[in-house]
Every structure is written in structure tokens, then in C-alpha cells.
Amino acid sequence: MPKFDDFLDYEENYFSQGQKRASRKERSLSRSKDRSKYKKSDQDKLKKQLQSEEPPLGANFLRGRVLSINSEMITVLSNHETFICTLKGVLKKERTRQKNLIAVGDWVHFEKKSIDSGAISHIEKRSSFLARADNLSRRKKQLLAVNIDQVFIVMSVCTPPFKPLLIDRYIIAAKKGNMHPIILINKVDLLDDPPPHIQPSEVEEEKRLLADFEKAYADLDIPILKLSVSTGHNLEKLKALMQNKASVFSGQSGVGKSSLINDVLGIDLAIGDVVQKTRKGSHTTTMAELLPIEGDGFCIDTPGIKSFGVWDITPEEISHFFSDFHPFESQCKFPNCTHLHEPDCAIKAALEEEKIHPLRYASYSTLMSEEPPKDWE
Ligand SMILES: Nc1nc2c(ncn2[C@@H]2O[C@H](COP(=O)(O)OP(=O)(O)OP(=O)(O)O)[C@@H](O)[C@H]2O)c(=O)[nH]1
Ligand SMILES: [Zn+2]
């Protein structure tokens, strides 16, 4: 195992771990404030606050962003120039104590040693964590990247069919890591111009499901963008959403993540063929890389990232993040009601009175009862 893999062992405390320890009462109190917690302005505030706590840059020091970490080399971008950096001795000592000392996406201070090299002396506090379950080692999680602003949850229509019941898993994983979820519905061209093997009735069903989904999720403060890589529909809007941000694309196989990434990176690689496979094959490790996009901003293109944290969600987290259920929960007969089988459940009552959308309840009950499939990746 390469030495630097140790950096990716995830040992940071999610902000949500504190929440897990909090009593049920405290949790329900905090729930009422939850809606605002993940709003853009609040996250920006957090970033500013974290930044203001950092020490001032010394003379001959630069501030930059870690783009990639390979063997003993850390590539840092500062003012549009890249520097190959090492860790200063003092940080190396800390490295043995704190495993995730440096990660892709970190903001660092480094001393310029030559026109293209430097020594990192300080790592700024992180605003978000992108981790995934580590199947290979006994240690539980791998840290893939930090300070990622937003997660694009990519779904498609028709091929593969739209699967609204999967979306909340991604939403919760994003929010747990303190990243903004944004839902992308790709391949909408197929709704107007379906290939011959798709029956008109299937297309109608997809349209109905999509309309239902938009209605059910309209009030959740999560942007939904319908687009098509094939026709270019709304791709400019997507690029605008990515400006000045670090973004990651997640979603099931075949929904069009690579096609979208290629488009925003402004590269023209054939998708789903040998070129694409070779490109993926070249990522022999699970390490992420920040790739500068057209304009200003970054995206991450790492195969392993598509399933980050989505099978690592507890029932407490599920109810915590279903904020549209919170106004009713206190009226359930049992304080620990799971809203699945219990009598006198206020959530089921709200569902019958159409105060909760059936799709939201279906998503909730699927999450609460489903085991992760073994062949997820
Ligand atoms: N009709 C249509 N096809 C698309 C669109 N976007 C992508 N595709 C096709 O969908 C297939 C899968 O696209 P990819 O970009 O490889 O999907 P992916 O999500 O990266 O898949 P994995 O690499 O398996 O995770 C390819 O054949 C694309 O050409 C679209 O907007 N419309
Ligand atoms: Zn209940």
C-alpha cells in the first residue's frame, strides 16, 4: 500500500456525529432550525468564518489549493500556477498522529522554494468532507476530498429509467458531508425523441414520474435541473452553477456523468468506448483529483466517488434529513415512532391528508427498510 494512502484514511469528525450523540429532545429542537442549516448563505458564512480563523500568510508564503496527491508529490494551485510541494518537517510529525493530515481540496499555506516548488507549512480548516466506505481495509472510511461545495446527483430518464427512490440516499450523503445537493435529470431529449426500442407507454410513464417527483421535491430547497448532453439543453446553466465552486458528480452507472464532466471540462472524449475505459483504468487508486473547469471552478472525476457514503446512513440520519416530516413527528403516539408499522402515526395521517407527498413517504420507507445491494459498485 503506498505510504500516502494513509492520508486518505478518514478520521475527521463529521459535524453530524455530535448530532448523533445529542438526545432525542435536543435533536427535535434542532430540527426546527434545520431548513436554514444547509442554505447556501449559511455554508458561505461557515467558509468565511473558517478562513478568518487562519493565521496570516508569512512573507514569501503563498496560499493554494491541493489538486492531487501522488506518491510523495502534492500538486498545489496558487494564482493560476501549479507548484509541486512537500510537507514541512513540523507537519510530517503531526502526520503520524493525524492520519488525514492532507487531502485533495485542502487550502494550504506554503513557502515558495523555486518557481514551481514549495513546502507546505499550514493546512486550513475544512468546510466539508467527501468520504466513502473502504471495502479493502478494516478501517471504515476513506477520505476522498475536502472543501467540496456541491454534489450533482445525476439521474437519467428512459435509459436507465428514472429512479426517484434512490435520490434521497445521495441527498443525505451530501448533506452529511456538509455539501449542497443539486439534482440533475439528464437525457431529457429521450422524452421528446425516444429511441425505437422504448415503447410510447414507457415514455409517458417516465414523464408522469418526473412530474410527480418535481412536485414532491419542489419545497425542499434543492435545485433540480433537467438537461441533455445530446442536445445541449441547459448545459450553460449547469456551467453557471459550477462557477467558483468545487463540484462532484455522483449517480448510477450510465446516467451520463462522464458525458457531463467532459462537456464542462471542455474536452472531447468518446464516451462508453475504449478511450473512456482506458481513462478510467488509469485511475488505479481511489484518489481524487481536482480538475479546473472552463471559467473558474473545479470538478472531481474519480470512478470511486460515485457511491460516496450513500450506503452508510443510519435510521437517525434518515429521519433527521427528512425535514418535511418534522412538523408532524411530535404528534406520533410513540416518541420513537419509525412511521412504518406503528399505530397512531402522525406521518401516516399527514400522508393521507396529502400534507406529505406519497413519493416522499415511499422514499423514506425504502431508505428505512432497504439493505445495501452487494454489487453496488
Ligand atoms: N440520449 C442521450 N444519451 C446520453 C446523454 N448523456 C449521455 N448519454 C449516453 O449515455 C451513455 C452513458 O453515458 P456515460 O457518460 O458513460 O455515463 P456515466 O454516468 O459516466 O456511466 P459510468 O461511467 O458507468 O458511471 C453513453 O452512451 C452516452 O452517450 C443524453 O443527454 N442523452
Ligand atoms: Zn410516526
Instruction: Mark whether 334 and 361 lie in a shared domain.
Output: yes
Write the residue with the smallest CA distance to atom 10 of ligand 1. 256
pLDDT at residue 135, rounded to an integer? 56
Could you tell me which residue, 37 or 113, shows the higher pLDDT? 113
ipTM: 0.98
Residue 180 has pLDDT above 90, yes or no: yes
pLDDT at residue 40, rounded to an integer? 54
Residue 10 lies in a domain: no
pLDDT at residue 3, rounded to an integer? 34
State in Å: Cα 254 to ligand 1 middle. Answer: 5
Worst-scoring range by mean pLDDT, 135-139, 204-208, 253-257? 135-139
% of the chain with per-residue pLDDT over 90:
51
pLDDT at residue 29, rounded to an integer? 47
Atom of ligand 1 nearest to the CA of 195: 1
Residue 276 lies in a domain: no
Q: Which domain holds residue 105?
A: 45-125
Residue 256 has pLDDT above 80, yes or no: yes
Instruction: Mark whether 103 and 139 lie in a shared domain.
Output: no
Q: Is 135 annotated as a binding residue?
A: no
Could you tell me which residue, 356 or 28, shows the higher pLDDT? 356
For 54, phi and psi rounded to 5 degrees? Answer: -80, 150
Could you tell me which residue, 242 or 35, shows the higher pLDDT? 242
pLDDT at residue 297, rounded to an integer? 92
State in Å: Cα 363 to ligand 2 middle. Answer: 15
Q: Is 187 annotated as a binding residue?
A: yes
Residue 21 lies in a domain: no
Residue 147 has pLDDT above 80, yes or no: yes
Ligand 1, CB within 6 Å, residue ranges: 186-187, 189-190, 228-230, 253-259, 271-272, 306
Instruction: Mark whether 169 and 245 lie in a shared domain.
Output: yes
Neighbours of ion ligand 2 (CB under 5 A): 332, 337, 339, 345, 347
CA pair distance 295, 239, nearest whole angstrom = 9
Instruction: Mark whether 241 and 320 lie in a shared domain.
Output: no
Q: What is the CATH number of the domain that holds 156?
A: 3.40.50.300
Atom of ligand 1 nearest to the CA of 190: 1
Atom of ligand 1 nearest to the CA of 227: 31
Task: Give the pLDDT confidence of 348-376 residue by residue, as tens digits.
Answer: 999 999 999 999 999 999 999 876 555 44
pLDDT at residue 17, rounded to an integer? 41
Region 152-156: mean pLDDT is 95
State in Å: Cα 344 to ligand 2 middle. Answer: 7
Tell me which ligand sits closest to the C-alpha of residue 152: 1
State in Å: Cα 334 to ligand 2 middle. Answer: 7
Residue 9 lies in a domain: no
Strands (E), the chain: 61-70, 73-78, 81-87, 107-114, 117-123, 129-133, 141-146, 150-156, 180-186, 224-226, 246-250, 290-292, 298-300
CA pair distance 310, 369, nearest whole angstrom = 15
pLDDT at residue 67, rounded to an integer? 94
Task: Give the pLDDT confidence of 38-68 residue by residue, as tens digits.
Answer: 455 666 777 777 777 888 888 889 999 999 9
Q: How many domains is the chain built from?
A: 3
Instruction: Mark whether 326 and 182 lie in a shared domain.
Output: no
Region 160-173: mean pLDDT is 92
Cα 293–Cα 70–Cα 307 angle in degrees, nearest 5: 60
Instruction: Mark whether 138 and 81 lie in a shared domain.
Output: no
- pLDDT tier at 299, thresholds 50, 70, 90: very high
Region 160-168: mean pLDDT is 93
| DSSP-derived secondary structure for 40-69 | HHHHHHHHHHHHHTSPPPPTTEEEEEEEEE
Q: What is the CATH number of the domain that holds 89?
A: 2.40.50.140
Region 207-231: mean pLDDT is 96
Q: Is 150 annotated as a binding residue?
A: no
Residue 166 has pLDDT above 60, yes or no: yes
pTM of the full structure: 0.81
Residue 221 lies in a domain: yes
Instruction: Mark whether 151 and 194 lie in a shared domain.
Output: yes
pLDDT at residue 120, rounded to an integer? 94
Write the residue with the smallest CA distance to atom 8 of ligand 1. 256
Region 292-306: mean pLDDT is 77
Taking alpha carbons only, the member of 157, 150, 97 closest to residue 127 is 150
Region 222-230: mean pLDDT is 97
State in Å: Cα 260 to ligand 1 middle. Answer: 8
pLDDT at residue 374, rounded to an integer? 53
